[in-house]
Chains A and B, each alone.
Chain A
Amino acid sequence: MTQMGFYFNQTRCTGCHTCRVACKDWHNLQSEGVNWMQIETIEKGTFPHLFLAFMAVPCYQCETPACMVACPVDAISKRAADGIVVVDPDICLGREKCAQTPCLKACRSRVPQFGPEDNAKMQKCDFCMERLDQGQQPVCVEACPMFALEIGHLSDLRQKYGNTREAPGFNHSLKIKPAVVFTPKPEVYS
């Protein structure tokens, strides 16, 4: 199976949120708080010796997704062709009916999300599958003013950018194997 992966050049990210909003616009995520792309801010240190970085958090399409394992009704699966983790809204029980919503607790990156509507079904980043299928880049990648994002075959990304799987704000997990490669921001203080 081919595994699609995500590349994030953390040294370039200014925390501008363009990727997050481009995603919300493209997928029409009108609700506040529902973000298929999340931006985390990492601030460390004491004035004037500071470290600041941002972490782009789409779904990293883990090789063994914790959300998939946790789902009681097998609504979450990995596409055979590219390893993209997808949720079938027809199978998903919905927030109220599922009661436990274990996918929420399973994912440490808070990727699975529920809208505000009654018995909302789980939704998440799917690497803009429909755009990939058309030969286009996902909208976040195409939006980034810093050209800091890329989505492609994980093996290609590793060949191109190396095999760094951790960065400030993100720890790798051998258990779930997030399909992500970083150019991490060196933790140097001002």
Chain B
Amino acid sequence: MEVSNPYLDNDVRVVNTGCCHDCGGRCVLKAHVKDGQVIRLESDTGEDPQIRACMRGRAYRQRLYSPDRLQYPLRRVGRKGAGKFERVSWDEALNEVAGKLKYVKETYGNASILLLASGGNQGMLHGPLPVGAMLQEFGGFTRTWGIASYEGAMYASMATYGTIRTGNSREDLLNSKMVILWGWNPAVTIQDPGTSLMLARVREKGIKIVAVDPRYTDSAATFASQWIPIRPGTDSAVLIAMAYVILKENLQDQAFIDQHTVGIEKYKDYLFGVDDGVQKNPQWAESISKVPAEVIAKLAREYALVKPAALIAGWGPARAAFGEQYSRAANVLTAITGNIGVSGGYAAGFMRAYSSREFSHKKVVVRPDQAKPKRTGNPVEDGASPRKYSLHKLYGGTNPNGARIHNAKAFDAILRGKAGGYPADIKLGYVVASNCLNQNPNTRRGEAALAALDFMVVHEQFMTPTARFADIVLPVNTFMERSDIAPPWLGSPYYIYLNKAVDSLYEAKSDLDICRELAQKLNISPMMFAFTEDEILQGIAAGRDDIPDYGAMQRDGVLKIRLDEPVVSFKEQIEDPGKASFPTLSGKIEIYCEHLAEMGDPSVPPVPRYMPHAESHDASLAKKYPLQLITPHDKKRAHSTWHNVPWCREIEPHVVRINAVDARDRGIRDNDMVDLFNDRGRVRIRARVTERIMPGVVELTQGAWYAPDEKGVDQGGCANVLTRDDVSPGGAHPMNSALVQVEAFSQD
């Protein structure tokens, strides 16, 4: 859809589209198109709230027109990973993919086909959806479960509340008396556009904002009046000690607890050491977290008494070993202070407010006893029993199907298969919208795994570290070259309609068109493929109750939904408990979770606990690798997307950040080359000596592309060379639980 051109050159048409990769936003972009080329961009200039694109979106022309864009299908000619390919025709490439799919299906069965899909290039239509539809029709496939960003937070949200719809609208933060940003840096991670602006307005209103984080982040520096540095992996200890203070000093909202929760006594048993003789007091938490006991006690009292208060528990600290315990501890803290279901409060949890990512905004509360076992439609998954530790009695959250392989274990599953306890022997990898070698933990093990596959096909826009291992690489277009619909992550009430701005570049095709052609070669006809792109998008829109006018959304490029009042999750349950209950087994907020208790496994305790692990700060391994690595988002990229865009890269070089004390101990000066390593791998990179990270912690932002030299040393700065390919029982990826050492690098 085009609008009349208000600009100088009257041969420019303006196409309303939007930015759509895997950050927390989805933002308005207006592409100025001249002679079939995007010549410049604007963002939202329309009515409030404006959904303004960030630096990444504004830099999109350099990604769209990058000289590195994949132009035609490629077949590997060198060894896997070497990056040597030859040009082939679409017909040749798809024949080969179809042939391999058929061969693997006939020889090993459909379960040997592993779909490695992610959100790197994904709208509501394009991305993994058509690939899944195709493989399902083909007889099924093995898929992964576990999202690196938030699986721990999601598990904890389900265990506590029975739902992931726990957030309040951002504007409701203006009704808070205090806001805690726990491991949350939306200035970089976005977490819905407008979040940072809202936090600025909260600060300007005089509302106190506290940041708890090992780093003095851009968000901490811009919004918070108090920064509490905390040792990575110990967030649950501090949250637990806050609960201790509140309950010990009788500051809890007892009426709320009595009315809306179950299990406070069991939690008290843990807090006051009835279980294990250990008082979970601030002194206990200080010794673990390095947060002074008096700071913990003061924060606890303030949070309990200054009502309402919003504890926003970011997903980062849950991307850790036992990350779900941190999220559980945060959720429970919001409950015992009665900050749930009230304006200005916040239930922590998964934090979705509006439902634009779900099928409908209408709240379908399904009581667990009414929930029916979900068929996934994937024949490979039919009849599989629920996965160990899954919250399979609940409706919603992560699909508990036991035929799925955890994302962090995909490489291990490829290497070990059924003999290693996995549901299938994997032979063929189908990769779409995913740079899994780079973004899954333990890159070097990933190299071995991808090299071990009989065949791998990758849909890609660039020759990523993952694509280098493909047998066939299929060039995919970008959102500028197709139409789609995109909602933000956490449910701000809007949709972006992405109108195709330019024709596909070179020989690139959409994921949908690739699968259409491939389906023909596989002699299958998935129902989805009988429809045009526009018909499918209309169908997606028609199935929802908050898109009244598809044509208007398409014309405007954005649909901003006007709510009568800001979303306050659980308002119904709190205001009228007789009428509404929580979709948990007990119908209440579960401080003590019966579903977890039934598992009878100490690694999934029914009340939140602090649990050390093999790479805790005080693990025996810390003698050898004394620094804790954290791998947060980088403002230059969204995960590994935009890594290769010069306008973004020129912000600053990719570096490892290290505190001045740790640097001095190692003879490292700012800008020196250093080696960052552990038993899993070694990264050679420049050091940024900074005061903005606490001693004992180093930061290597995730997403930079893996680039091993001939000795296997990564010169690209890929954080996952150092992370553990392990999984917490609740599914949290331990990306922020890796011990490392740093040494000055010298040429000799």
Contacts and interface: CB of A to CB of B under 8 A. Distances in A.
B222 A50 contact: no
Nearest to B224: A190
A20 B692 contact: no
A24 interface: yes
Contacts of A33: 650
B197 A147 contact: yes
A146 B196 contact: yes
Interface string B173-202: 000000000000001100001101100100
Contacts, number: 122
B690 interface: yes
Nearest to A148: B200
Contacts of A17: 55, 635, 651
Contact of B692 (A11, A16, A43, A134): A43
B695 A47 contact: yes
B540 interface: no
Contact of A144 (B52, B219, B661): B52
Contact of B691 (A16, A24, A46): A46
Contact of A143 (B58, B220, B651, B660): B58
Query: Main secondary structure on chain B at its contact with chain A?
Result: mixed
B121 interface: no
Nearest to A133: B8
Contact of A14 (B61, B222, B224): B222
Interface string B268-281: 00000000000000
Interface string A118-155: 00000000000010001010010011111100000000
B529 interface: no
B690 to A, nearest CB: 7
Contacts of A20: 55
B216 A50 contact: yes
Contacts of B194: 145
Interface in A17-49: 17-18, 20-22, 24-26, 28, 30, 32-33, 35, 39, 43, 45-48
Interface string B215-232: 010111110111101000
B216 A52 contact: yes
B691 A190 contact: no
A12 interface: yes
A18 B40 contact: no
B383 interface: no
B635 A16 contact: yes
With most chain B CB atoms within 10 A of its CB, the pick from A30, A50, A53 is: A50
Interface string A41-82: 001011110111100000000000000000000000000000
A30 B55 CA distance: 15
A30 B40 CA distance: 12
Interface residues of A, number: 41
Contacts of A25: 40-41, 58-59, 61, 647
B301 to A, nearest CB: 21
A13 interface: yes
B53 interface: yes
A63 to B, nearest CB: 29
Contacts of A94: none
B648 A21 contact: yes
Interface in B479-512: none
Contacts of B200: 11-12, 146
A146 B219 CA distance: 12
A102 interface: no
B221 A143 contact: no
A49 to B, nearest CB: 9
A15 B634 CA distance: 12
Nearest to A20: B55
Contact of B54 (A11, A16, A46, A53): A16
Nearest to A29: B647
With most chain A CB atoms within 10 A of its CB, the pick from B54, B58, B203, B204 is: B58
A134 B197 contact: no
B53 to A, nearest CB: 7
B385 interface: no
B40 A26 contact: yes
Contacts of A139: 42
B651 to A, nearest CB: 5
B630 to A, nearest CB: 16
A12 to B, nearest CB: 5
B196 A22 contact: no
Given A15-B218, A52-B692, A146-B196, A21 B55 contact: yes
Interface in B423-437: none
Contacts of A16: 54-55, 187-188, 196, 218, 635
Given A32-B646, A47-B660, A52-B221, A145 B52 contact: yes
Contacts of A32: 646, 649-650
Contact of B42 (A28, A142, A145): A142
B501 to A, nearest CB: 14
Nearest to A33: B650
Contacts of A136: 6
Contacts of A130: 8
B227 A48 contact: yes
Given A16-B54, A50-B216, A134 B8 contact: yes
A11 B185 CA distance: 17
B671 to A, nearest CB: 15
A177 B45 CA distance: 32
A26 B7 CA distance: 12
B160 interface: no
B43 interface: yes
Contacts of B224: 190
Interface string B25-62: 00000000000000111110100000011110011011
Contacts of B635: 15-17
Interface string B225-247: 11101000000000000000000
B337 interface: no
A24 B193 CA distance: 22
Nearest to A26: B40
Contacts of B221: 50-53, 190
5 contacts: A11-B203, A15-B218, A48-B694, A142-B45, A147-B197
Pick the 4 closest A-B CB pairs, nearest first: A52-B221, A14-B187, A190-B227, A17-B55
Given A26-B41, A30-B62, 15 more contacts: A11-B204, A12-B222, A15-B635, A16-B196, A21-B58, A43-B692, A47-B692, A48-B216, A52-B218, A52-B692, A134-B8, A142-B42, A142-B43, A145-B197, A190-B221
Interface of B: 6-8, 39-43, 45, 52-55, 58-59, 61-62, 187-188, 193-194, 196-197, 200, 203-204, 216, 218-222, 224-227, 229, 635, 646-651, 659-661, 690-695
Interface of A: 11-18, 20-22, 24-26, 28, 30, 32-33, 35, 39, 43, 45-48, 50-53, 130, 134, 136, 139, 142-147, 188, 190
